Amino acid sequence: MDRNNQEPMTNKKLSLSELSLFSYQLSLILKSGISYLEGIELFRKEISQANMRQITNRLYEDVKSGKKLYESFEEQKIFPDYFVQMTKIAETTGMLDVQMEQLSQYYDKTEKTKYKTRNALVYPIVLFVLMTSVLMLIVLKVFPVFQEVLASLGGDLPPSTAFIFEISRAFQNTAAGGLLFVAFVIIVLALLTRTAKGGLTSDRLKLKTGFLKKIHQKWVTLRFAQGLAMMVKAGISFEDAILLSAPLTGNRYAQLQIEEAQKSISRGSSLVEALIKTDIFPELFIQMVRIGNNSGQLDATLEKTTEIYETELDRSIDRMTSSIEPTLVIILSVVVAAILLTVMLPMIHIMSSIG
């Protein structure tokens, strides 16, 4: 097929389910023993979905012209960086069939985790929006009425109640401006993260601060260990393996730190010492690398480490999603109850005095 006569390529990124299916079907072709070109030609003839047919047509033409698979994936710009980098490593190590199957499992598992996480967060998010709306209603509509009633009844207001009313009055005057300011800040931060420096800072904060720090660390460690295990098993030198695995982390700050570690090893630092200096990997990972390096079984140790962090990441996400809902309910309930009691109690007190 002439490249000029092909259907126009879409720029839409493949979904997780499409990536999983594509990887699985490609792994079957590669395991069948037939050549890339024959397999991909068969692959594209069997596909009925227009989007996937465009991809395989392009892939067929690229492989036919002598390009590697990862080069075609990279040029199509619809595959995630992780997919492209893992394909590149797999082609380098001669483990493409195995890696495609693992990528299929990885994206299938990622989709299930994403679905589970999204479902777990739907109720807390809806609850948060509803409770915030209730608070806004109380502050903007109910409090002014209470103020008028208490003023007409007379009596001194407790300091806590007076403070709440002052906040309510200030918020009523600045609500629109405040919301616009918050929206402006969010937009500016979103744009800054798209710049090189802003993105680097954002990735650093993910690994260093916040309640999601440990999850990000485990995610980075898992991706790094997966690539490292494959290359070490294929006999690639550790220095080269580190450099090739760095982009897999999906975190620019982590990638820079890993590249610095590779340079330290080249200058004579020990493997463990260089990884410790990155200050991005959990202690368990460092210990596993130390054990594998000392025993001469680094590839097996890294594969075991990958399994451990897959399990750890799943557990961390489960714990996070299961704890968000009750925590949010408790916090919002306490806030609403405190505000209402602060206003209602003085009113009850004044009315009982009048009675």
Distance of alpha carbon 10 from alpha carbon 51, whole angstroms? 7
**Nearest alpha-carbon partner for 104 in 15, 27, 219:** 27
- Is position 341 within any domain? yes
Co-location of 147 and 222 in the same domain: yes
Co-location of 271 and 349 in the same domain: yes
- Is position 306 within any domain? yes
Distance of alpha carbon 312 from alpha carbon 309, whole angstroms? 5
Co-location of 55 and 146 in the same domain: no
Q: Which residues of the chain have pLDDT under 50?
A: 1-8
DSSP tag of 158: P
- Is position 247 within any domain? yes
Contact assessment for residue 2 and residue 18, using Cβ atoms and an 8 Å cutoff: no
3-state secondary structure of 234: coil
Co-location of 24 and 170 in the same domain: no
Distance of alpha carbon 101 from alpha carbon 303, whole angstroms? 16
Co-location of 224 and 334 in the same domain: yes
One-letter identity of residue 76:
Q
Co-location of 139 and 67 in the same domain: no
- Is position 88 within any domain? no
50-to-9, 44, 57 alpha-carbon distances in Å: 10, 10, 10
Neighbours of 68 (CB within 10 A): 16
- Containing H/E element for 137? helix 96-137
- Is position 135 within any domain? yes
- Is position 85 within any domain? no
- Is position 89 within any domain? no
Contact assessment for residue 164 and residue 172, using Cβ atoms and an 8 Å cutoff: no
Co-location of 206 and 309 in the same domain: yes
Co-location of 39 and 127 in the same domain: no
**Nearest alpha-carbon partner for 220 in 253, 260, 259:** 253
Co-location of 61 and 172 in the same domain: no
Q: How big, in percent rounded to 5, are the helix, strand and coil portions of the chain? A: 85, 0, 15
Distance of alpha carbon 65 from alpha carbon 53, whole angstroms? 18
What token pair was written down for 223?
A: 């991706």
What token pair was written down for 211?
A: 């309640």
Looking at residue 8, its pLDDT comes to: 46
In the chain, the number of structural domains is 2
pTM for the predicted model, two decimal places: 0.65
Query: Which residue, 44, 79, 114, sits at the end of a domain?
Result: 79
Distance of alpha carbon 81 from alpha carbon 87, whole angstroms? 10
**Domain extent at residue 236:** 95-355
Query: Which residue, 79, 113, 140, sits at the end of a domain?
Result: 79
Co-location of 75 and 99 in the same domain: no
**Helices (H), strands (E): how many in the chain?**
15, 0
Chain center to CA of 14? 17
Contact assessment for residue 261 and residue 277, using Cβ atoms and an 8 Å cutoff: yes
Contact assessment for residue 251 and residue 206, using Cβ atoms and an 8 Å cutoff: yes
Q: For 21, phi and psi rounded to 5 degrees?
A: -65, -45
Co-location of 103 and 70 in the same domain: no
How many Cα atoms sit within 13 Å of 79 on the Cβ side?
25
183-to-178, 180, 287 alpha-carbon distances in Å: 9, 5, 45
